Amino acid sequence: MNAAPGYGAGGYGAGGYGGSAMPAVKKKYKILRLIAVLMKILAVVVGALLIIAGLVMIVAGATASKSTPAFPDSGPGAFGGLVGGLVGGLIMFVYGVFVAIFLYAYAEWMYVFMDIEENTRMTNEMLLGRK
């Protein structure tokens, strides 16, 4: 299989239209990249903890006793404890999923903006090199 003209084995721009390789640009924003990685880790950890807490809440609601021996008429009852634990646990479970997704997406947006800046700088260097 032959590659399209201007595209070598290295992918887009390996041969380039002008026959020269893409200019190497220095990575910038090292701290911002570190923050993005930490945000991804935080997304996974916080999401997992909230999902586990939701599951624990569902189980705790399911195992809620109908009443205590000292106060036989107190408490929400078996059905109330089950429904309360189930609803609260499901809400926390869904909240954990959304928090994880949004934190991870926020970190990805940071990478998108850094890539846009890098590609713009690379294009500028290519255009200045043609003159």
What is the rounded distance in angstroms from the CA atom of residue 58 to the CA atom of residue 84?
8
What is the rounded distance in angstroms from the CA atom of residue 120 to the CA atom of residue 114?
10
Q: Could you give phi then psi for residue 10, rounded to 5 degrees?
A: -85, 5
- Percent of the chain at pLDDT > 70 equals 67
What is the rounded distance in angstroms from the CA atom of residue 40 to the CA atom of residue 105?
8
Contact 6, 17 (CB under 8 A): yes
Q: Above 50 in pLDDT, residue 76?
A: yes
Quote the pLDDT of residue 115: 93
> CA angle, corner 106, sides to 104 and 110, nearest 5?
115
Q: Mean pLDDT across the chain, nearest whole number?
A: 79
Condensed to tens digits (0 to 9), the pLDDT of residues 1-26 reads 454 454 444 445 444 555 556 667 78
pTM over 0.75: no
Condensed to tens digits (0 to 9), the pLDDT of residues 20-35 reads 566 677 888 899 999 9
Q: Above 90 in pLDDT, residue 46?
A: yes
